[in-house]
Chain A
């Protein structure tokens, strides 16, 4: 190389380096006339469009969902403790850029004339609510307000108004102050408080709290500090938050403590990024196929340039730069498409989406372009290197083509790059590695299977009688062409299989996810809780309820108790530092007793009461919810002391239970065996489903059992369902893009194989085949290819979906029989139709043109 440059005049040498960029740019501009470059451009632009579109959408949806989750929690960050917060803390949070709102919660008596009723007080400030709106009725129907009651006002839950017999404009007494009822609260934006407090809501302003005289030393009050702000602002105060946790403050971060829908949401996100990856993989396959044709077409150019004195490095540089220009141009077009596409689709979706999505951020754009470049390097790189190896002698001896890049090298490099992308997107190197190795093993298996399939096709064709109608003849000829061109057909077979598998997998996972979600909240999910059922009215209540509803949960007895010691130590000192502020240590817990394990609970450690071991004198066996035990650092054999009505009971943990908190059933942290708690004052709780039109029953229940509180959780249920619906739409939307990417693969593959097919049909025509026969032969060939690809795609999809379920979604794998029918048949139909249509121009060519195509074009 140095010798070569040494022989050239110096100014020329300088200009050579300078000219590389311009030369490659001119080359690419000229090259845009070629069909394969256009296919490559389309594939790359689609890769960028798909990844940025999904990226933009995911990013915005993610932030939107987070905002919605923040709305349910009340803020991005919620701090709770039993004493007022210090000014210094407020200052720290404000300085980090967070907007604050404070709440005080307590149970207090509300009265009106002769009626008294315990109410759950929510004392708010001017900044309430940080997220969402309150649905209230101020006498003119339900309206949405982005504020709470003003000083001097009280907003009541309709049930409280009913119990106190007040109407809008009446005054209620709270503590020592009187407030005017100005609205009935139909729905609060922040409803995540759980069911610990079953008293109906009374909302009032902070300014009235002092006059009420309710905040006294020793009163059981919960102070909350809610903060709204960017994740970076929340991150900035994390060290301070850790200290607070150790001091006994309960800290809830919207990113870690998503209320109610933790599982559904995280699965949806995993699904969306999985789908995004599938689209990228498909675009990669398309790029690989288009590149193959690009390289074949440029072998002559490379040889000629070599003849004119280009070095290997110059050739590599030239073609790499040419493709880089192409990638950049495709990135710009793709990113614009992605931006426009996501805007357009979101615009379509906003009709259904009540939540407002934040504007698109710059990160997905960057990630999209990066992904496109990675795809180009990974899926086109090894194939491109073939150009560098071309011999100058090829200009004299046409047959001297360099060997194609080894299929294993192409697959290997592509896998490495894709593995890197998997890592980038999933953030889990182990998972990325596992998927990659699994994928490669699958590919080897598929290759073998494909080889066998093609051999089988050839053998079947050989046995076919030579006579027979035109259709049979077409099938024979088509199958033979396919099987004879084994390596090219195998490449297409693998590409189509992966394409079908990716598309099918995304569809499968979608279906299973959705049905899991639907199972999670079926139609008859309880929407009413009945609490405070006294032992004396228990049987009568059951009778009345059973006459009216089909489904209800068991009646659980409920005793309120406080944890006062753990392993004979003060609870706060016995638990890990970050659990000192845990709500379970600050509030009374609802305890129950049961002879059998409740429905929906799963034993994860220890034995149920009927088989519990003998315990030390004075201890009773108890069963603890798994999550609580984990938070408090407790295990089997640990002792917990409960103070119930002034008496102490020591329980020893003999079993741990896993339960579904999203089930809308009564759930208990602690369950005692029978014959321990019966002596304490208790009431019963149950949950049931009541159709909207059977409102009369709830009125009847209230009338017959005035002491029983009925809690309508339809609103919360609705909120959860609404969110699931939105997520479902997002999932379906992303599925559409995966399909689009799949079509790009088909397009690229068919474009790439066009010259060969043109040559074959040209030859057939020379030998006397008619238009009809050629058309049928091509159709048959594509249909067989599609059928075989569908078969292999089904296998791949089943295996991959099973792996993903186990590794990622925590769902049990199952066989999808429908897939084995739809993929092969659908594949034959789709590939047959698209291939047949795309080959129409080939069939229109004269044999002269067709045969010439294999040369330079």
Chain B
């Protein structure tokens, strides 16, 4: 098991009364599987993703990532656990504007160095079809191209687990479709575990398994049954 959550809960205090975003949530993710977490806007998808990736701390429950209990680690310890083993794809790409495409891709490698870093970066950009645009800055690239750079960046460290947060949320339908094709192709080739958070049923359908986040809890979902 690559990720295991037991009784996970998150409460925040909004104004005077506490607000429960997630409550007593259980989840197991196995190596190599692709998992979609579906939910409407405001259902707490991003909060859950943040907890699963160790970017935030739960108010209750326990979470194990790569066999290590996150509760026993401080913020730095959790960061160290991610280094080189977790990749991210964000809705708003999160490319650094002063870095070229290649430099953006190389950024995670600077924290978890592998041999031939630069060559790997070039190779991955070539695989996402941007081999000719290594030196371009994000603002010189279209939205789809920027997300492709982000995909290359997510896979360049050969991570065990990739989190994707609404990866097509900022793209038009056609471009989004191409990005998703690419995401799944890369994931298959690398044999990576993929946890995808989205509100898009079509996208969720392409995963091995789907879970619905509703009122702070996860329930299994068979998409064919809802006729999506």
Contact = CB atoms under 8 A, between A and B. Distances in A.
Interface residues of B, number: 42
Among B50, B79, B92, the most chain A Cβ lie within 10 Å of the Cβ of B79
Interface in B101-140: 103, 107-108, 110-114, 138
Contact of A308 (B72, B78, B82): B82
Interface stretch (B21-29, B83-91, B219-227): B83-91
A300 B95 CA distance: 9
B111 A1 contact: no
A307 B88 contact: yes
Contact of B68 (A7, A304, A308): A7
Nearest to A34: B98
Given A304-B94, A314-B111, A395-B88, A3 B77 contact: yes
A820 to B, nearest CB: 45
Contacts of A392: 53-56, 79
B98 A310 contact: no
B98 A308 contact: no
Interface string B67-78: 010001111111
Interface in A289-319: 300-301, 304-314
Given A16-B111, A397-B46, A301 B96 contact: yes
A34 B139 CA distance: 14
Chain A's interface: helix, strand, loop or mixed, by majority?
Answer: helix
Contacts of B201: none
A3 B55 CA distance: 17
Given A305-B111, A396-B49, A396-B90, A311 B98 contact: no
Interface string A1-18: 101110110001001100
A395 B53 CA distance: 12
Contacts of B54: 392
A3 B92 CA distance: 32
Nearest to A306: B79
B66 interface: yes
B132 to A, nearest CB: 21
A396 B66 contact: no
Contacts of B86: 309
Interface string B19-58: 0000000000000000000000000001001100111100
Interface residues of A, number: 38
A309 B84 contact: yes
A729 to B, nearest CB: 45
A391 interface: yes
Given A305-B107, A396-B46, A3 B73 contact: yes
B165 A313 contact: no
B99 interface: yes
Contacts of A305: 107, 111
B55 A19 contact: no
A31 B98 CA distance: 7
Nearest to B80: A4
Contact of A309 (B74, B82, B90): B82
Interface of A: 1, 3-5, 7-8, 12, 15-16, 19, 23, 26, 30-31, 33-34, 300-301, 304-314, 391-393, 395-398, 856-857
18 contacts: A1-B77, A3-B68, A3-B73, A4-B79, A15-B113, A19-B110, A31-B98, A300-B96, A306-B55, A307-B88, A308-B108, A309-B85, A309-B86, A311-B76, A313-B76, A393-B50, A396-B165, A856-B97
Interface of B: 46, 49-50, 53-56, 66, 68, 72-86, 88, 90, 92, 94, 96-99, 103, 107-108, 110-114, 138, 165
